[in-house]
Amino acid sequence: MKIQLQVPVGLQIKAFYLFFLIHTVQVGSGIMGVSTHVYSQAKQDAWISIIVAGIWMSISVFCMSRILQQYESADLPGIQVDIFGRIIGKFLGTVAALYFFGFMITLLLNYIEVVQVFLFPTIPTWLVCFFLLSLVVYAVLGGIRVIVGVSFLFFVGTVWLLAVLYKPITLMEWNHFLPIMGTSYTDIIKGAYKSTYSLIGFEALLFVYPYVQNKQKAHLAAQQAVWGTTILTLAVVVITIGYFSGPQLERLIWPTLSMFKIIQFSFAERFDIIAVGLWMMVILPNMVTAMWLCTHTFKRIYGLRQKQVLYMLAALLFLGTILFQDRLQINYFTDMVATLGFYIAFVYPLVLLPIVLLKNYIRRKRGTSQ
């Protein structure tokens, strides 16, 4: 496997679009219930947990950028083979590919469940899954530039949903945030950890970097993306904590969507139903990017044709998704993926950076001595 990835100019993207690619792969099904998960640990200080997670995420992105800058045009699968050797490198790459595959399953399961609860209680899981996977396969077949275009268009098409939350903001009770710092530091850190599933996805930088044309601006675009996600998540958590009481928030599964129930217009009394339908535009960039990352990684590691891998994974996703019918099973599997994502996105770059720097330092010393 080649360490450096030579990407034709026609397939390259501007660093500007990294913001939309990374941001949209982060914002998806996780943000629907992030408030409940973080509040269960950090209580009224859940907003502090989000800030802590944002800082940690920014540090991780910095480490990723430093790792990538040590190579001219390499991605994570190539770097791992270069650092750890072919066997260990391919094994670690396979773990990353399987992680993206599991991430895809959780996205499908969580959105399908929302559709069945809010819109069509009797619709079969396989039908919604088939419809979503058809769109995902069609987009991934178009390549990285189509995926970036989907991320950009769907970001523009859904960002206005934030404006309709004006009503819950006017009904917020600010005493829900008191006392500030009344939770222990340990619980605040645990709350930051609980936000993992809502923030993972920025590790896409490690795989998309070779496709960026002006690589010197990639780090800035990635930082803007993760801080955009942090600010959005912080706003959602603050609004939900202020709007719902503590006992209410702990009982809700999707507090973000529940707030849409009080939004009414003269032409639409049940805006929450519209919001769930529109949420497909939020979820699709998640799934499209995750599928591309998964197929691209398998292609890099094993030299397979990406189109063949795509069809095979789509079939496996369809079969795997319809096997999950119980909410407890979905929660357990989502927690497993979130835990693996935490180590891959938040921990692994911090461990990998000193190893890469040390190995490159040894190479330079050997080159100088010769």
Distance CA 132, CA 130 (A): 6
pLDDT value, residue 267: 67
Distance CA 315, CA 7 (A): 29
> Does residue 367 register a pLDDT over 80?
no
Task: Convert the pLDDT of each residue in 115-157 to its tens digit.
Answer: 888 888 888 888 989 999 999 999 999 989 999 999 999 898 8
Q: Which SS3 state, helix, strand or coil, does residue 42 take?
A: helix
Give me the torsion for CA of 61, 63, 68, 70, rounded to 10°.
160
Q: Which SS3 state, helix, strand or coil, does residue 265 take?
A: strand
Distance CA 38, CA 49 (A): 7
Give the pLDDT band (50/70/90) at residue 268: low
Enter the pTM of the model: 0.92
Backbone angles phi, psi at 13, to 5 degrees: -125, 155
Mean local confidence (pLDDT), 317-322: 86
Give the pLDDT band (50/70/90) at residue 369: low
Q: Which SS3 state, helix, strand or coil, does residue 120 take?
A: coil
- Tell me the two tokens of residue 34: 């992030």
Mean local confidence (pLDDT), 166-188: 87
How many residues comprise the chain?
370
pLDDT value, residue 350: 95
Q: At a CB cut-off of 8 Å and minimum separation 6, what does 127 contact?
A: none
Distance CA 89, CA 38 (A): 34
Give the pLDDT band (50/70/90) at residue 247: confident
The residue type at 163: A
Mean local confidence (pLDDT), 8-15: 88
Mean local confidence (pLDDT), 158-164: 82
Mean local confidence (pLDDT), 10-32: 88
Distance CA 259, CA 219 (A): 35
Q: At a CB cut-off of 8 Å and minimum separation 6, what does 114 contact?
A: 29, 32, 254, 257, 276, 279
Q: Which SS3 state, helix, strand or coil, does residue 182 take?
A: coil
- Which homologous superfamily is 9-369 in? Amino acid/polyamine transporter I (1.20.1740.10)
pLDDT value, residue 370: 46
On the CB side of 308, CA atoms within 13 Å amount to 6
> Does residue 83 register a pLDDT over 60?
yes
pLDDT value, residue 97: 93
Distance CA 129, CA 116 (A): 12
Comparison of pLDDT for 363 and 150, the residue scoring more = 150
CA distances (Å), origin 362, targets 349, 350, 351, 355, 368 = 20, 19, 18, 11, 10
The residue type at 154: F
Task: Convert the pLDDT of each residue in 29-74 to its tens digit.
Answer: 788 888 888 998 888 899 999 999 999 999 999 999 999 999 888 8
> Does residue 325 register a pLDDT over 80?
no
Mean local confidence (pLDDT), 240-269: 81
Omega before 124 within 30 of 0, i.e. cis = no
Q: Answer whether 40's CB lies under 8 Å from 190's CB.
A: no
**Count of other CB atoms within 10 angstroms of residue 268:** 11
**Count of other CB atoms within 10 angstroms of residue 156:** 11
